[in-house]
Structure 1
Amino acid sequence: MTDASNRSVERGFAIVDELSENGPGRVSELAERLEMPVSTVHDYLQTLVSTGYVTIEDKEYRTTTRFLEVGHRHCHRLEIYQAVRDQLETVAEETGEHVTLLVAENDQAVILAVEEGPDAINLFAYPGARIPLHATAPGKAMLAHVDDGRVAKLVDEGLVEVTSQTVTDPEVLFDQLEAARERGYAVDEGERIAGMVCVAAPVLDKDDRVRGSICVCGPERRLDEPRREEIADVVQRAANITQVNLDYV
């Protein structure tokens, strides 16, 4: 692919990302937001409309649910998504809290599925949301089972501070990953969402490759130390059942 083709693809996705992250807009507004010529933005939008990924209403362009279709299709093809089956719902019922299934993709933790128990706080989490691996329990649960070179790469790229509690010291992170590996689960205390505690267990396959992570989140006042240990048992059991299911997907 030529440099011109690469730039064309990048511009197309830049427009899609802008519409997704900051909402709909008219051609001139989008051109200003993206610092691109109006004519260029207009041409790309026409192509995106013709493919069904963008629509226009009252002269404003916006993304369509075509992306939702693509995302769901991708999720249902993933073995772990099939293997988790009823486990997320079971964990939500047992803990009463907010439960998610995440995988690692392009050095980020990505939410694949969400279940909410009766006491769950609405965290506005949704499938497709991306989270820095180092700043959340499920991310650390997965990082604990990858080679040190991958973790070192994340450290070299910089450990972004999401909240004031996010671990940005490499030595502390490596210590946390070692602890998570030894006990079988990871914890974050307000590292991604202030005031929330998350407990997560990794899902490994029969070859000990990390395939994802099951996570429970709740307010820190409700998830005290004894409660965290109870939840750790629940997510570890769910992860183990999912691991068994992976062998038969």
Structure 2
Amino acid sequence: MGRTSNRSVERAFALVDELAENGGGSVSELAERVEMPVSTAHDHLQTLVETGYVRMEEKEYQTTTRFLEVGHRQRHRLEVFKAVRDELETVAEETDEHATLFVEEADQAVILAVQEGPDAVNLFAYPGARMPMHAVAPGKAMLASMPTDRVEAIIDRQGLVELTSRTITDPDVLFEQLEEIREQGYAVDEGERIAGMVCIAAPIFDKNDRVRGAICVCGPQSRIDETRRDEIADVVQRAANVTQVNLDYV
């Protein structure tokens, strides 16, 4: 009975993930896309409609903003989000670029908050977006702050998928870079997830020296030369330190 119930939940979330990733569709289209019998897909979709998480319009199913409500409430419960809100806005204003707060969840780097400076490019970055930790500066900043055995476990589970020609796919190279990140206090991603973009991130620690997230600034490679990288690195490190102090009072 328990396994059957679990399988039912898995199938329902497979439909939710498909709707979120690739948009709406009819019951037959969705069933085909997730390789599920039409009758089973119909039952799960009807339940999701009844609970308010999915709606049907013109014979197509779509997710509702109920998921946004759930995520928004959870975000406001996280201490690191409360501690960084004002500081993230300051980072965006000082750098004129795209500033984000990341946390680690289920072995991935997840955007928790976004602030755009006056010159920020459109990165289609939004709260809840998930990325491989090894391919983004904030992910590497957090990995560098974790014990080696935990990093190895994340690599074993997630792999080192190649997103661009510059993505690190060799574990030895990654560990060498993580050591360098620990020494300098910040991480850099040079086109490793998005070609032509440079991202610089610093880890956020709490009073017990546990990594709680990372603050990141991203901008076009043409705007972020070596001198500006040093300036941005100073900004994100200072912001991470202020956030660490704020965490004690949340």
Q: Is TM-score (shorter-chain normalized) higher than 0.5? A: yes
Q: Distance in 2 between matches of 1:85 and 1:231?
A: 18
Partner-residue secondary structure (3-state), 1:85: helix
Q: Output the aligned Cα RMSD.
A: 0.8
Amino acid at match of 1:161: E
1:227-238 to structure 2, matched below 5 A, reads 227-238=228-239
Whole-angstrom distance in 2 between the partners of 1:106 and 1:113: 18
Q: What CA distance in whole angstroms lies between the structure 1 residues aligned with 2:236 and 2:223?
A: 17
Q: Kindly provide the amino acid, as one letter, of the partner of residue 44 in structure 2.
A: Y
Give the whole-Å Cα distance in 2 for the aligned partners of 1:71 and 1:240.
26
TM superposition shift of 1:156: 2.4
Query: Which residue does the alignment assign to 1:95?
Result: 95
How far residue 105 of structure 1 moved from its aligned partner, in angstroms, is 0.5
* Aligned 1:144-163 pairs, distance under 5 A: 144-157=144-157, 158-163=159-164
Structure 1 unaligned spans of 5+: none
Runs of 4+ in 1 over 4 A off after TM superposition: none
- Spell out, residue by residue over 1:160-202, the C-alpha distance to the aligned partner (whole angstroms, 9 max, x if none): 1111100011111011111111111000100011000000000
Question: Match of 2:121, SS?
Answer: coil
Letter in 2 for 1:241: V
Tell me how many residue pairs correspond in the alignment. Answer: 249
- Which residue of the partner structure matches residue 133 of structure 2? 133
Distance 1:170 1:37 in 2: 41
Map of 2:243 onto structure 1: 242
* One-letter identity of the residue aligned with 2:204: V
SS at match of 1:86: helix
Q: Which residue of 1 aligns with 2:180?
A: 179
- The one-letter code sitting in structure 2 at the alignment partner of 1:54 is V
Provide the rounded CA distance (Å) in 2 between the counterparts of 1:60 and 1:85.
38
1:35 maps to 35
1:248 Cα deviation after fit? 0.4
CA deviation after TM superposition for structure 1 residue 2, in Å: 1.5
Higher mean alpha-carbon deviation, 27-36 vs 111-120, is at 27-36
Shift of residue 221 of structure 1? 1.3
Once the two structures are superposed, residues 192-233 of structure 1 have per-residue CA deviations (whole angstroms, 9 ceiling, x without a partner) of: 110000000000011110000000001111111111000000
SS of aligned partner of 1:84: helix
SS at match of 2:62: strand
Letter in 2 for 1:91: V
**SS, match of residue 194 in structure 2:** coil
CA distance in 2, matches of 1:64, 1:41: 18
The separation in 1 between residues aligned to 2:177 and 2:145, in whole angstroms, is 12
Aligned-partner Cα distance in 1 for 2:77–2:35: 37
Match of 1:11 in 2: 11
How far apart are 1:96 and its partner, in Å?
A: 0.3
C-alpha offsets along residues 71-117 of structure 1, whole Å, 9 cap, x if unaligned?
A: 00000000000000311110000000011000000100000000110
Kindly provide the CA deviation profile for residues 107-161 of structure 1, in whole angstroms up to 9, marking residues without a partner as x.
Answer: 0000000011011100000000000001010000001111101111133232111
For residues 106 and 33 of structure 1, the distance between their equivalents in structure 2, rounded to whole angstroms, comes to 25
Taking structure 1 as the reference length, the TM-score comes to 0.98
Q: Tell me by how many angstroms 1:6 deviates.
A: 1.1
AA matched with 2:83: A
Structure 2 distance, partners of 1:84, 1:36, is: 43
Distance 2:29 2:175 in 1: 45
Work out the percentage of aligned pairs sharing the same amino acid.
76
What 5-or-longer segments of structure 2 have no aligned partner?
none
1:9 to partner: Cα distance: 0.7
